[in-house]
A and B are shown apart, each in its own frame.
Chain A
Amino acid sequence: MTELLRFRINVPKVIHETIEGETVLVNLDSGNYYSLDGVGADVWGLLEQGAHVGGIIEWIADRYKGERTDIEKALCQLIEELKREELIVPDETRGSGNVVDRDGLSKVSPGLHTAMFVPPALNKYTDMQDLLLLDPIHDVDETGWPSTKADSPISEK
């Protein structure tokens, strides 16, 4: 993964909120819920601020105790996973350079090398659709009409 790659949160498909240090997310298209805590929640906060991959690794490595290569590997895996779940998408609109508000984040995060690095995990919950009480989301084809190729949301009456 190129260190200068930058991602953005896949809004409006994805809604997210960080509560008591845990980030909770929903992909409205799939109805899947996710949670991230610890390092994962930090990474999400950095992504939200528009940090590029290299900047994220740098920031985490500064704050957590651990082998640099382990950190790099774990973070790249997490970002890959977030991408695969369509929670983030490549952002080509921003210029280069790191735009992270380091001061803002440091207020809510551990200080330099104060905590052990624990590889972040993206927890996925596929059985929480009951909580997602939006109108049904239907698949439409390129013309905008529902397509027979998509699964019909209803069976025979």
Chain B
Amino acid sequence: MDTIESVEEQAAFFQSVRDRYLEAKTSAGEINSYYRICDTTVCLSFAGEALISHITPALSHLRITEAGAPDLTICLWDSHSTKTSMIPPPWKRDRYTYRGDIWGYNSNRIKTAFHWIEFSLNMLDMETNTGLFWVEHTQSLPFWVNASPLRTLLHWWLEKNDCQLVHAAAIGTKDGAVLITGKGGIGKSSTALSCLKSGLFYLGDDFVVTRLKPEPFVYGLYNSAKLNADHVMNFPEFSRFISNSEDLKDEKAVMFLYPEFSEQLAAAMPLKAIIVPRITGEGKSRVTQAYPEDILRAASFTTMTLLPGSGIKTYEFLSQLSSRLPCFTLELGRDLAHIPATVSHLFETLVHENVAETSVRCPDAGESQVTPRTWPFVSVIVPVFNGERFIRKAVENILSQDYPSLEIIMINDGSTDKTEEIIKELPLEIRYLSQKHFGPSAARNRGINEAMGEYIAFLDVDDLWPKENLRMLLKELSQDRDIDVVHGYAQLAHYNPVTDTYEYRGNPAESFPYYIGAALYRRTAFTKVGLFDPTLHYGEDTDWFTRAKELNVTIKRLEDVTLIVRRHGKNMTCGKNVVELNQLRVFKKTLDRIRARE
């Protein structure tokens, strides 16, 4: 699963696919159109006409007349209309992922993704600046994807050009633009369209491009807007622009705003703030200040789960963006007409009070915020087996959470290396326990027994928590007494010996769902569910969560990355197959429990 094909093999496959395009072009003819995208010239080179009506409408406002040599050329074709078959993929079927990444077929030079939404193959050669887009048949393209065509290829290309595609809407006034980000369904499109309706500038409702230097900037990429069918009636004035009226039962309504709204479609604007909408159900809308880290989470998770190949670069870009701009929550009321006024008022405040240059970063106090006085005590349990290389970094990581009320319990699970020596040398107070090698479950259980905290967290010595993770998890747990466990997703990071760094790999939303370290537990969760099964050296995580579910323990899943799992060849779970990972044993234990209850 982790084998990476060599760059030469990747490039050879790219070349073979490109040869198929050349054949398709010979058979069906070549049609080129040129676009100016974020200060670069992009040529879309179609073999035959079949794909043109799917790809070009959303980009038509950026079209330019024929240019000289383009910066990027994307070759597009379908097998059906060009009567050109595709060569088989060189990878096995287990290389496909939901997000689109093809394991082993991504390198600094060649990017590859297969999209299930479109059944499209996307490849980009970063050295020759050539992209490939292929589908077997244009029928596989649902209409709504026409609203944001080629977004994976453009994501790779824009990243190379120091820009970042973001899952966000953007609207503006003469004073600049605001980015409206967050997962699908939270009101990005409704906000953007109601602002368009009231005369504000429009840069996009789903994907826009951002740039950091010299100042934060946003570019409009697609002139489209998408609305859920049940929201269409809220915008009757736009209904005549809907291009898929017949298919609204199954699809979102797609509108193209060019050329009718040419004057309001802004090409690029300086960014003045980032907003995450939240539907409140109240009458009026209002804006409240937000923590940059909350805004970063909202922007990065949704963006990274949608863009193949996105990783640490995307996260760091968005981290910088959210730290350089004022951050707000837009509490969306039912009255759509009130939204533009609320947003315009925010612009006025930003301009007149120059909020952008002040350091107003924290939301108003109150409303179940965790304040220093109420910080509950957290026990962080770190089992260590021969982890001498990682101990210092793990402790550093816990301390960098900047959580003032915690204890660290390290359990040396019979290490034969310098684990004990290193822990004892640490310049801070650590509760150190040592035992014979009984395995991670026994070590964690010992920690739970020793823990003094009302809340318990686990960190394996070679894993890391993202910044502010503990505060965020605690905020979630402390807001609702009924929740026993709150957990998010893990981001895999692979060690690259060439650069001596860990690179993010894959989509966190597709990671193993039961990483013990990706959660924060109420102490009482363990009295309800019991401890980890010490007979399981692997699979104890799945086993615990399965038991918790059977007992109706309340587990809240966050759409956030709450753990970074570093793969470096020595991880306990690295290279184990499903049998070795004890899934069958966990299943057997589940069966035994079900029978015991019957």
Which residues does chain A contribute within 8 Å of B432, judged by CB atoms?
A: none
Q: Which of B126-140 contact A (CB under 8 A)?
A: 136-137, 139-140
Q: Are A131 and B542 in contact (CB under 8 A)?
A: yes
Q: Which partner residue on chain A sits nearest B585 by CB separation?
A: A19
| Interface SS of A by simple majority | loop
Binds B, one of A85-93, A108-116, A144-152: A144-152
B97 and A136 contact, CB distance less than 8 A: yes
For A15, give its contact among B85, B136, B579 (CB under 8 Å): B579
CB pair A148–B510 under 8 Å, yes or no, is no
Contact stretch, chosen from B112-120, B322-330, B382-390, B449-457: B112-120
A144 touches B590 (CB 8 A): no
**Interface membership of B86, Cβ < 8 A:** yes
B116 engages A157 (CB within 8 Å): no
Contact A136 B98 (CB under 8 A): yes
CA of A35 to CA of B121 in the docked complex: distance in angstroms? Answer: 40
Contact A24 B89 (CB under 8 A): no
Query: What's the tally of chain B residues with a CB closer than 8 Å to chain A?
Result: 43
Is A4 close to B, CB under 8 A?
A: no
Size band of the A side of the interface?
A: 35 or more
- Output the residue of B89, B581, B591 with the most chain A CB within 10 A: B591
Cβ contact within 8 Å between A148 and B136: yes
A63-95 at interface with B (beta carbon < 8 Å): none
- Contacting residue for B116 out of A28, A133, A137, A154, CB 8 A: A154
In the complex the two chains form, is A15's CB within 8 Å of B578's CB? yes
Contacts of B569 in A (CB 8 A): none
B428 in the interface, Cβ–Cβ < 8 Å?
Answer: no
Among A17, A128, A154, point to the contact of B585 (Cβ < 8 A): A17
- Among A91-140, those with CB < 8 Å from B are 125, 128, 130-138, 140
Is the beta-carbon distance between A24 and B97 smaller than 8 angstroms? Answer: no
Note all chain A residues with C-beta closer than 8 A to B136: 145, 148
- Asked whether, in the complex, the Cβ of B93 is within 8 Å of the Cβ of A22, the reply is no
Minimum CB–CB distance for A20 against chain B, Å: 8
Does A53 sit at the interface, judged by CB under 8 A?
Answer: no
Contact A156 B578 (CB under 8 A): no
| Residues in A neighbouring B549, C-beta threshold 8 A | 130
With most chain B CB atoms within 10 A of its CB, the pick from A16, A24, A140, A154 is A24
Cβ contacts A35-47/B at 8 Å (1 or 0 each): 1000000000000
- Measuring CB to CB, which residues of chain A are less than 8 angstroms from any residue of chain B? 15-17, 19-20, 22, 24-26, 28, 33, 35, 125, 128, 130-138, 140, 143-148, 152-154, 156-157
The 15 listed contacts between A and B (C-beta, < 8 Å) are A17-B584, A17-B588, A19-B584, A22-B588, A24-B584, A28-B578, A131-B542, A133-B583, A138-B96, A140-B93, A143-B86, A144-B89, A145-B119, A152-B119, A157-B184
Closest 8 CB pairs of A and B: A144-B88, A17-B584, A148-B140, A144-B89, A152-B116, A19-B588, A24-B584, A143-B88
